[in-house]
Amino acid sequence: MTIADDEADPDAVIESSSADNDKSGDGEENSDQDDLAAEWDAMVSGEEGEGDGAGADMESPSSAGQSTRVLNQDEIDSLLGFDDDHTPGADQTGIQAILNSALVSYERLPMLEVVFDRLVRLMSTSLRNFTSDNVEVSLDNIASIRFGDYLNSIPLPAMLSVFKAEEWDNFGLITVDSSLIYSIVDVLLGGRRGTAAMRIEGRPYTTIERSLVERMVHVMLGDLSAAFEPLSPVTFRFDRLETNPRFATISRPSNAAIVIRLRIDMEDRGGRMEMLLPYATLEPVRELLLQMFMGEKFGRDSIWETHLANELWLTEIELEAILDQQTMKLSDVFALRPGSQIMLSATPESLVQLRCGDVSLYTARMGRKGDQLAVCIEDRLIED
């Protein structure tokens, strides 16, 4: 605003200048709001035209930076394959699936579940006799894991029992946690029921504790041998007892193994026990573990076995009486005509063989009964 008269009122000048400032401030605020609205319109239009916005991206290069979306934590976990909601039985995804793609799943050996179910029943009975207490054994889960990862996941303190499968010429591992160790010691030494087992952490296990746990492991190995008995006879022999996982290395860290997690409850006491079998140990019986047997008796049913045996005795077979055998030239065979005679080396008193297919069963003599030829069995060629 320009003031023409020097004698003008100064208050008027101040008021007019402040009014001009107010007008300019309103104009700047309006322009900022217009720019903000235009920016919002551009972002909305960019999101709506994201599918076919190749030309739009070329027209507004700055919109490319604005449309870049940052992954949240759930999407990152899903990409890596470490979802919190991932169930153990479901298939793994992402990078975790790539890392574990070479790991063999125990589900390819369906007979293992039958063997371990049988082991649970046997252990429930044997541990009740061993502790003279009410013992319940339950199977938590069966999983595949690398041997090195398993050693790193063992909660210490614990006792690791190394055993050997004699017929398979390889080793396995039984891990007993501290809760089960103190519970077994408390039960075997006459601890009162209804009181928790005393736990003294931070000290090595005593000779008595090691001896009692070793006796329990011997009982478990006997049950494990009995569980595999219908499938393949094998003897599991106790080798040594370790408290340091580094001294219980029975396989390469990268080798795959099967871990069976068992829960042993004795009323208000108990603990967990884990059994590890490397795939190299199960290799001699892998073909048997691939079979799909039904039932608790590994596919054997005494009723059907008896019925099949009875029906086999009623089977009709054909027997052939072989008088003699000769070796002839092919030209002589083609020269045979109706009326040709073949001279046999057998006499009326010679023995003949009774055969079923290619199997010789009996030797007999030829004879006649009425108007029919007959044979009289002289000797038996097959064993009972």
| Successive 10-residue mean pLDDT values, the chain, 384 residues | 46 45 51 69 56 45 57 75 52 62 61 87 90 86 86 84 90 89 85 61 79 90 90 88 85 87 85 89 84 55 83 87 85 89 81 86 85 85 73
Question: What's the one-letter identity of residue 358?
Answer: D
pLDDT of residue 75: 76
What one-character DSSP code corresponds to residue 225?
H
pLDDT of residue 56: 42
Which pair of structure tokens corresponds to residue 324? 């003699």
pLDDT of residue 53: 46
Round to whole Å and give the CA distance between 95 and 299.
Answer: 40
Q: For residue 164, how many C-alpha atoms fall within 13 Å in the half-sphere facing its CB?
A: 7
pLDDT of residue 366: 84
> 106-289: which CATH number, 3.40.1550.10, 3.10.310.70, 3.30.70.60, 3.40.50.970?
3.40.1550.10
- CA distances to 285, 308, 311, 318 from 315, rounded to whole Å, are 35, 11, 7, 10
What one-character DSSP code corresponds to residue 244?
S
Nearest-5° Cα angle at 260, 259 to 262: 140
Q: Please state which CATH number belongs to domain 316-380.
A: 2.30.330.10
Q: How far apart are the first and last CA of the chain?
A: 132
Task: Name, in order, each residue with C-beta under 8 angstroms of 302's C-beta and a sequence gap of 6 or more.
Answer: none
CA 351 from centre of chain: 62
pLDDT of residue 57: 46
Cα dihedral across residues 185, 189, 194, 199: positive or negative: negative
Maximum CA extent, the chain? 168
pLDDT of residue 218: 92
pLDDT of residue 252: 87
Round to whole Å and give the CA distance between 117 and 180.
Answer: 21
